[in-house]
């Protein structure tokens, strides 16, 4: 039943992100919690960006790229499956607009995360912080429009409980992440670096659950795959039947309009002498 399907995109994305975070945190803690050059003298807990600006920068960049690419593929796959009817279809222009705006927000977030991982906080602190804001705002906006789309879909497809479940998961993500992001900004401005660092790690780990929530969205397509395949086969058979019928009609018309055939000597074929 499961096989290879579109649901693997969010799984790959989520596990990549989670694995990267665990690896970075584990390296920092097992190395004796070093104080990196990018850290404030009063800071004891490293930000993700502090760890990612050191020897694990290649991991930070690679993990960010893989996570965002497969998360964006999840959104594209969902749009395609809704278009094909393997998931609940978008019935209104507003729903389609919400979908495209969510994809645009995700694209902005993708650019933000990849750029902040490349422009590390040690060498490019100001650009890094700007792209951090772009990353967070992009994906929060994307989640808002996804919730708006699912809310509209839920009105038309009340029997699809997965829409309601996914809506509440993503809405919870928005509320929690926005609250934590505000707290992160406040603590950073107050120079409470350790508290801000804990909040940043928390925000990043919670983001994993948002990514994996797309598994819930895409898994129903596994059940509809066989149905669509059967419909395709039936359509092909119907097309073949129509084609044969048209061929028979063409032969009949040809037989009706063909004149008598003659031999080379002018006598009609079938005429006896």
Q: How confident is the model at residue 248 (pLDDT cuts 50, 70, 90)?
A: low
Same domain, 69 and 130: yes
pLDDT of 77 strictly over 90: yes
- Residues 188 and 195: their CA atoms lie apart, in Å, by 8
Same domain, 240 and 117: no
Same domain, 136 and 228: no
Q: How confident is the model at residue 11 (pLDDT cuts 50, 70, 90)?
A: very high
Same domain, 116 and 245: no
pTM value is 0.78
Same domain, 212 and 102: yes
pLDDT of 270 strictly over 70: no
Q: Do the domain assignments include residue 233?
A: yes
CB-CB contact of 197 with 47 (8 Å): yes
Q: Do the domain assignments include residue 203?
A: yes
pLDDT of 142 strictly over 50: yes
- Residues 53 and 120: their CA atoms lie apart, in Å, by 5
Percentage of the chain lying above the pLDDT 90 cut: 63
Of 250 and 80, the one with more pLDDT: 80
Place of tokens 């009063």: 42
Question: If you average pLDDT over residues 258-265, what whole number do you get?
Answer: 52
Same domain, 95 and 214: yes
> pLDDT at position 85, please?
85
> pLDDT at position 177, please?
92
Q: Do the domain assignments include residue 268?
A: no
The total number of structural domains in the chain stands at: 2
Q: Do the domain assignments include residue 186?
A: yes
Closest Cα to residue 170, out of 221, 133, 207?
207
Same domain, 79 and 145: yes
Same domain, 39 and 170: yes
Q: How confident is the model at residue 266 (pLDDT cuts 50, 70, 90)?
A: low
Same domain, 67 and 166: yes
- Give the ranges where the chain is alpha helix by DSSP (H): 8-30, 48-52, 57-84, 93-118, 125-156, 161-189, 193-218, 220-257
Range of the domain at 234: 224-254
Of 37 and 250, the one with more pLDDT: 37
Overall size of the chain counted in residues: 273
CB-CB contact of 168 with 217 (8 Å): no
Same domain, 203 and 250: no
Same domain, 34 and 108: yes
Q: Do the domain assignments include residue 160?
A: yes
Q: Do the domain assignments include residue 73?
A: yes
Same domain, 150 and 231: no
Q: Do the domain assignments include residue 263?
A: no
Q: Do the domain assignments include residue 265?
A: no
pLDDT of 231 strictly over 90: no
CB-CB contact of 1 with 221 (8 Å): no
35: helix, strand or coil: coil
> pLDDT at position 251, please?
62
For the ranges 65-69, 153-157, 218-222, the one whose mean pLDDT is highest: 65-69
């Amino acid at each position: 039943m499961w096989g290879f399907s579109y649901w693997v995109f969010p799984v790959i994305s989520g596990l990549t992100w989670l694995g990267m975070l665990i690896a970075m945190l584990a390296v920092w803690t097992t190395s004796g919690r070093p104080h990196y050059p990018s850290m404030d003298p009063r800071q004891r807990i490293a930000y993700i960006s502090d760890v990612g600006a050191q020897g694990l920068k290649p991991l930070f960049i690679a993990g960010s790229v893989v996570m965002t690419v497969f998360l964006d593929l999840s959104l594209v796959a969902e749009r395609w499956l809704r278009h094909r009817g393997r998931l609940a279809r978008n019935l209104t222009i507003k729903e389609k607009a919400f979908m495209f705006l969510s994809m645009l927000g995700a694209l902005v977030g993708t650019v933000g995360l990849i750029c902040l991982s490349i422009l590390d906080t040690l060498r490019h602190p100001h650009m890094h912080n700007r792209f951090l804001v772009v990353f967070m705002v992009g994906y929060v906006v994307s989640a808002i429009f996804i919730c708006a789309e699912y809310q509209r879909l839920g009105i038309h497809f009340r029997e699809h409980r997965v829409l309601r479940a996914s809506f509440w998961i993503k809405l919870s993500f928005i509320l929690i992440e926005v609250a934590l992001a505000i707290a992160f900004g406040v603590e950073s401005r107050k120079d409470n670096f350790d508290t801000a660092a804990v909040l940043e790690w928390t925000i990043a780990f919670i983001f994993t659950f948002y990514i994996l929530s797309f598994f819930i969205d895409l898994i129903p397509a596994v059940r509809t795959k066989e149905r669509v395949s059967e419909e395709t086969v039936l359509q092909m058979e119907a097309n073949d039947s129509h084609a044969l019928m048209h061929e028979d009609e063409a032969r009949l018309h040809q037989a009706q309009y063909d004149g008598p055939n003659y031999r080379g000597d002018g006598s009609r074929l079938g005429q006896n002498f």
